[in-house]
């Protein structure tokens, strides 16, 4: 099973840049989407359905903001919209599909870059999300969490760690949260296969030709639960896909 996660920074804008054409070539069994910036009725699902995907969405109450989705060629036996925490669900940040004993979640962690209030909310989200996942793993031990976490974990995940040490997305408390989150029983699938690989990023600022110069951040992850460790086959980052300021990241499960 080939699972991709992609912050599309507006699914309608990404589609105008050829998202579905890329998807037709990518071979994804499941595509986890973040930042749809659309209500379900605003998304042309027919183009994805024509490629064999079933479409599931969880949009923010605020129009043109946030939102997550799952496109799946495999019919899930259950789709969980949201997580039951009001302030998170109001912003459309979590959706999960269950396939027998396997669960696959799309998550969009808030950014804290716009100011102190949003940074405070981001840290609250991280705490609540960690507790939610710890409980969920007891019920659904085979879990993939793909999405935009808006955090670089280590210095090799960011192009200039020294100048960004006080920047939201690379703050010490955020980086520590990722370490603690992994301790809940999760694996950063890309680092599982490529522990020391540098210059591998999933987001670039639109400023100063950051993408052309590969001055990026690795903030998009596919986290796999420890119960899936022996099923992990490969992981990758796909910077050649340019429908967004992010690029897709993938993980492959055996069988």
148 catalytically annotated: yes
Select from 17, 6, 3 the least CA-distant residue to 202: 6
pLDDT of residue 90: 98
Q: In tens digits, what is the pLDDT along the chain, a chain of 255 residues? A: 999 999 999 999 999 999 999 999 999 999 999 999 999 999 999 999 999 999 999 999 999 999 999 999 999 999 999 999 999 999 999 999 999 999 999 999 999 999 999 999 999 999 999 999 999 999 999 999 999 999 999 999 999 999 999 999 999 999 999 999 999 999 999 999 999 999 999 999 999 999 999 999 999 999 999 999 999 999 999 999 999 999 999 999 997
The two beta strands, 54-58 and 94-99, are unpaired
The active-site residue out of 48, 53, 148, 201 is 148
Structure confidence at residue 255 (pLDDT): 74
The candidate with the shortest Cα–Cα distance to 60, out of 84, 34, 39, 83, is 39
pLDDT of residue 14: 98
Please name which of 106, 42, 36, 123 lies closest in space to residue 72, comparing C-alpha atoms: 106
Q: Which residues pair with 246 in a beta bridge?
A: 203
Q: What is the pTM (predicted TM-score) of this model?
A: 0.98
Q: Active-site residue among 6, 48, 108, 221?
A: 108
Per the structure block, which two tokens stand in for 158? 């960011």
Q: Which of 176, 224, 253, 241 lies closest to 14, judged by CA? A: 241
Domains and CATH numbers, the chain: 2-253 (3.60.10.10)
108 is catalytic: yes
d(CA 106, CA 56): 11
Integer Cα distance of 152 and 169 in angstroms: 6
């Amino acid at each position: 099973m080939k699972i991709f996660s992609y912050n599309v920074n507006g699914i309608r804008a990404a589609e105008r840049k050829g998202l579905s054409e890329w998807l037709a070539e990518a071979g994804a069994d499941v595509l986890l989407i973040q930042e749809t910036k659309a209500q379900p009725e605003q998304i042309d699902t027919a183009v994805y359905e024509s490629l064999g995907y079933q479409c599931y969405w969880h949009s923010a109450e605020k129009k043109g903001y946030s939102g997550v989705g799952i496109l799946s060629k495999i019919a899930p036996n259950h789709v969980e919209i949201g997580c039951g925490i009001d302030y998170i669900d109001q912003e459309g940040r979590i959706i999960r599909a269950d396939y027998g004993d396997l669960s696959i979640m799309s998550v969009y962690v808030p950014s804290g870059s716009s100011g102190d209030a949003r940074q405070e909310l981001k840290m609250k989200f991280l705490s609540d999300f960690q507790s939610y996942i710890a409980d969920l793993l007891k019920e659904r031990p085979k879990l993939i969490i793909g999405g935009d976490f808006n955090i670089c974990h280590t210095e090799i995940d960011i192009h200039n760690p020294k100048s960004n040490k006080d920047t939201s997305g690379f703050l010490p408390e955020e980086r520590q949260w990722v370490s603690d989150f992994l301790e809940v029983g999760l694996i950063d699938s890309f680092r599982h296969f490529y522990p020391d690989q540098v210059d591998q990023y999933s987001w670039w600022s639109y400023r100063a030709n950051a993408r052309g110069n590969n001055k990026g951040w690795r903030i998009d992850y596919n986290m796999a639960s420890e119960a899936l460790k022996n099923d992990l086959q490969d992981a990758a980052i796909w910077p050649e896909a340019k429908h967004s300021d992010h690029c897709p990241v993938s993980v492959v499960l055996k069988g």
